[in-house]
Amino acid sequence: MKVNFEKLKEGRNSLTFDIPSKDVAFDYKGYKLNGNWHINADFFKNSRGEISLIGDLEGKITLICDRCLKEFERKVFLKFEYFFVPFEEVEVKEEGDLNDGVVETFYRDNFVEMEDILSEQVILSLPDKVLCDESCRGILKEDGSPYIEEEGEEKPLDSRLLPLLEIKKRLKK
């Protein structure tokens, strides 16, 4: 669903959207958006044509566990902020995140697609490692022991931590 910046009045514009998952071009690690997604969005427009967008979105997604490869559904609720600046105003500046996590974007076209925001925000919110459950043991062999041993979790990043790890190991015994 397009929001046309020219049609927004100056000041606050509160809009809500119900977006069927099938309308969202979402292609990330085989995950799938489910059902309808709901977005609440407040657009604030100033006289220079700069637009700040503060909103939240909610829906369901099917993820794949990185440890046991099982698919599972999870609810997503997240808040987001964007700041749109007309392209002509900008000289040499890179598009990107402001310090406080606001995505700053320069627009040439006078609109934004809410489906694009949904897709981008959901991807940004996902952790590096997706687990069906914190205690997921992964794929188990017949005897019940895991196929994939977790690696790297106890490895120190820094050789200066080695003595600490030794102490930790000793304490465990």
Binding site for Zn ion (CB under 5 A): 65, 67-68, 132, 136
Cβ nearer to Zn ion, comparing 64 with 102: 64
What gap in Å lies between CA 114 and CA 16, rounded to an integer?
10
Task: State which residue, 15 or 136, has the beta carbon closest to Zn ion.
Answer: 136
Tell me if residue 112 falls in helix, strand or coil: strand
The CA distances from residue 46 to 9, 83, 103, in Å, are 9, 11, 18
Vertex 134: Cα angle to 128 and 135 (nearest 5): 135
Distance CA 146, CA 33 (A): 30
Token couple for 77: 């609720």
Smallest gap, in angstroms, from Cβ of residue 153 to Zn ion?
Answer: 16
Q: Which lies closer to Zn ion via its Cβ, residue 61 or residue 68?
A: 68
How do strand 103-107 and strand 2-4 relate by DSSP bridges? Answer: unpaired
Look-up of token digits 């940004």:
124
The distance of closest approach from Cβ of residue 147 to Zn ion in the complex, given in angstroms and rounded to an integer, is 12
| Shortest spacing between CB 164 and Zn ion, in angstroms | 30
Provide the minimum distance between the beta carbon of 133 and Zn ion in the complex, in angstroms, as a whole number: 6
Is the torsion defined by CA of 129, 132, 134, 140 positive or negative? negative
Q: How far is the CB of 64 from Zn ion (least distance, A)?
A: 9
| Residue closer to Zn ion, measured from CB, 148 or 161 | 148
Nearer to Zn ion, 15 or 64 (CB): 64
